[in-house]
A and B are shown apart, each in its own frame.
Chain A
């Protein structure tokens, strides 16, 4: 019968009209009074006394609260988490990056000063404006010093602001993602709830000592040569 297929389709849309809402509002969403009270962490009467206007807006479901959508913990966000005290300046990350946007400058230095064994990092910068967040650098880091971050609202007006230099990397919030870091997935850690400023917890092992590095990188190589 002509027209039957059309009606069948319209019934589907009609049923979905009353179904659950699938889209999410971002970056703000409209909230009711209960949600708003929970967001402000106040009782409803307190809101009535303190914020009369927002109270009435909330009753009308018209007050706005910011939403932060949570991704899965492996999410590769557009910032990096770097622990300077874990990094040995081996530059594996810089070599692995397909775009060559990680810049590392070092000079021999540190506690155990013997040329080639210990490095002081002068410069460590990642140009996230050109980064494609493939995560290969994180995969390459043998000392779990570099991690993908989970933050993603990092838009700026100036391109140069996207370059994460050493100071920014040290000072910014550290919410490492569990991309290529199975130790985070087996633990309770959730990058969307807590940050991880302690570098000891971030890695599978302690920062290697100078002896370890020498054994791994100098002695083994001289044997094989």
Chain B
């Protein structure tokens, strides 16, 4: 005879360390099984979109840094591409290669954070996270060489990047490309075939491809359900057409597939960085001031540009009224939209799987709330 139980509602967050920022959930349990999840966000809302309306197009770059603060370079790239489309700017090839290197490195760093914290949420306190952070540190050091900052980069400018990479950067990048596969092998040895991780993540929080497409989920979560969708291939921007890389796909759609897919994407990103480095030619990294003035005044109109961010489709919608500041700036943040299926993924799983699933979705509250 089953024990009669009553559902109990618990409030998790917004100050919970496992919620990756200030995220709150109202979870209803029946025993240990989740029967309802209600995500509540908005605790980190800073009004970036409104702030942009009174800043010039170059100044808004600094706001994009602070959206998804573990992948600032990618935010920079998406925004700059939108500005370039709006103002019809022809970027300099060297600048484009450099920003591709930067954004692929950033994708690696962001996925490393995702993997590290996923395992951290599983209860492996510290160790795998430290391994992931150790590798990320190397990337952040390279960013420091490029732009003097590690998190809030503001490296990109309309038409390219703000300054050429220093010569020492290339040596460091070389040694990084040479040593990184070994490090990622090591991380995989630690995690991929671990039985505890198998039992905790395989078959947990399964998402079907139909649900994912219906909820317009993008990024690694969509690809882990078996849908071949990557904007770098589908709607190629910058020079992604000229480099060769594969898009890893998994069918399972569970937490383990999401983890494995990120590891494989890291390897592909490294391939792209290698090819970018081969293709880069000397030249200007940004157009001269006479070509592209510092104070941009795009013609009135609007444009939408989406890139494949580390967490999914990162879209920027800009409306210009012909003045020096955007009339409206809207960000289609992948983290926010990927959160919408949280309830469908979690209902029926156990309490212990809640934060694991949350970690495997890899959201960033800075991007959710903006």
Interface residues, chain A, with chain B CB atoms under 8 Å away: 2-6, 8-9, 11-13, 16, 22, 71-72, 74-76, 96, 98, 132-136, 139-140, 148, 177, 179-180, 182, 185
Contact = CB atoms under 8 A, between A and B. Distances in A.
Nearest to A71: B144
Contact of B195 (A3, A71, A148): A3
Nearest to A2: B195
Contacts of A2: 195
Contact of A4 (B131, B168, B186, B193): B193
B190 interface: yes
A133 B148 CA distance: 10
14 contacts: A9-B190, A9-B191, A11-B189, A12-B190, A72-B141, A74-B148, A75-B148, A76-B148, A98-B55, A98-B63, A134-B62, A134-B154, A136-B58, A179-B163
Interface in B28-66: 55, 58-59, 61-63, 65
Contacts of A72: 141, 144-145, 148, 166, 168
A12 B186 contact: yes
Most B C-beta atoms less than 10 A away, residue of A2, A74, A75, A180: A74
Contact of A75 (B55, B144, B154): B144
A22 B136 CA distance: 12
Given A4-B193, A6-B195, A96 B59 contact: yes
A140 B152 contact: no
Interface string B110-146: 0000000000000000010001001001000100111
B189 A177 contact: no
Nearest to B142: A72
B154 A8 contact: no
Contact of B193 (A5, A134, A148, A177): A5
Contacts of A4: 193
Contacts of B154: 134-136
B104 to A, nearest CB: 20
A4 B141 CA distance: 36
Contacts of B191: 9
A135 B141 CA distance: 18
A177 B148 CA distance: 9
Interface in B147-201: 147-149, 152, 154, 162-163, 166, 168, 186, 189-196, 198
B189 A9 contact: yes
Given A133-B152, A136-B58, A182-B163, 6 more contacts: A3-B195, A72-B144, A74-B144, A75-B149, A76-B148, A136-B62
Contacts of A13: 127, 190
Contacts of B321: none
Contacts of B194: 5-6, 8-9
Contact of B134 (A11, A22, A134): A22
Nearest to B60: A98
B294 interface: yes
A142 B78 CA distance: 29
A74 B189 contact: no
Contacts of B58: 96, 136
Given A4-B193, A5-B194, A72-B144, A133 B59 contact: no
Given A6-B194, A9-B190, A12-B189, A148 B148 contact: yes
A167 to B, nearest CB: 26
A39 B58 CA distance: 45
Contacts of B190: 8-9, 12-13
Contacts of B131: 16
B148 A6 contact: no
A5 to B, nearest CB: 3
A129 B130 CA distance: 31
A11 B186 CA distance: 10
